[in-house]
Amino acid sequence: MKSFNVPVHYRSPLIASIKKSRKEADKMKKDFSPTLLDLGPVQIYLARHFGFCYGVENAIEIAFQTIEENPGKRIFLLSEMIHNPQVNADLQAMGVQFLQDTLGKQLIPFESLTSDDVVIIPAFGTTLEMEAYLNSLGITTSKYNTTCPFVEKVWNRSEQIANKGYSIIIHGKPKHEETRATFSHARANAPAVVLNDMNDAIILADYITGKKPSEDFYEEFKGRYSEGFDASKDLQKIGVVNQTTQLASDTQAIADYLKQQMIAHYGLTAETIATRFADTRDTLCYATMDNQTAVTAMLDTPADLAIVVGGYNSSNTTHLVELCEEKLPTYFISGPEKIGDDFSIEHFNFHNKTSSVTPNFLPENKPTRILITSGASCPDAIVEQVIYKVASKWGVAESIKF
């Protein structure tokens, strides 16, 4: 796989050594057990896979290269390039300005842009409409486009099945940048609708099978279907694609459920299912699946608590938190600064979008067992700093090595 040039301060010698060793011992990535850092009074288990994915490293390389190549020019990001506070803060410190927030709210008037400006497309991609608008201003978007190749793969697969007459069902958070971009690309080629979760899939199945009158569809899925969508016709032949940072198991469960509903309703067989339902398993992101599988395997290890590091608006990171919360007390933090010198911890609750402080969050039992992972947009250096901060509780930070 390609090696990217990203700022050295995002790297971690410790974690680089761990990842290199694990890769050499497990080239086929079949071993998802965590890596143990046995520090005596505290045992830290690191997930087999975590941190920067291919798409994130690609985006960071392009963004910093763009800054280097355009001295004196105004440089804008359409929105946060990735959902990581440290990386976005670094870009802003270098003069990059954000045109929109993550929900698409305008922060800087687009009317102020000129053809001399540089606009970087974030890793989530953007809508066809936004690309066309920027191009109409004389701003070339293709040159500074950091869209993740695996997001583009979803778009390409959507177009392929659309050309075969399938409508596109998108599993994604309706307000997420990536979902908005994928919806734009999908609806350009076929009828499209966005499902947030399995509950939406169950509701949609009632329209597929005729249990609900098609005219009610437009209110239940208001704002989430393409213009001209005909619920009486456009649900007869479908394919499911995803927002790549969703739980892969959730996307697969939604696809499997809708597939079974189609089979039962139309009396299909294994030989005839493709006439109504497209096989789109190849749109699931490998990095998302690896990180989630690694967390699932890590949770088989007896532990006292879990720490998940990453941006609070990062979809893939919140899903790792979700997995950990099912089994252990879990602390979601953006960096080591959230752990106080008194070992209180300020952690984020993604369910209600609030932060709270837990005093003395590290238990006294020995050895204390802690599971640690991070999202796909979190620098390894941040994770290393968290490890050292935790280890300092027992005065063993200096003994960390691998």
State residue 372 phi and psi, 5-degree precision.
Answer: -135, 135
Longest dimension (CA), the chain: 66
Short-list 315, 277, 286, 306, CA closest to 368: 306
And the tokens for 123? 């890793």
CA separation for the pair 127, 125 (Å, rounded):
7
List the alpha helices (DSSP H) in 26-127.
Answer: 54-69, 85-93
Active site residue 129: no
Q: What DSSP element (H or E) covers 184?
A: helix 177-187
What are 183's two structure tokens? Answer: 């919806």
Residue 92 vs residues 29, 164, 286: alpha-carbon distances, Å? 36, 44, 30
Where does 165-314 show beta strands of DSSP type E? 167-171, 192-195, 238-242, 277-278, 305-309
Report in angstroms the alpha-carbon separations of 147 from 57, 240, 254, 402. 11, 21, 25, 35
Nearest to 319 by CA among 389, 369, 244, 266: 244
Catalytic one of 57, 177, 178, 322: 178
For residue 225, list its beta bridge partners: 193
Sign for the pseudo-dihedral over CA of 74, 80, 82, 88: positive
Helices 128-136, 177-187: axis angle to 10 degrees equals 90
Q: Which residues are catalytic?
A: 178
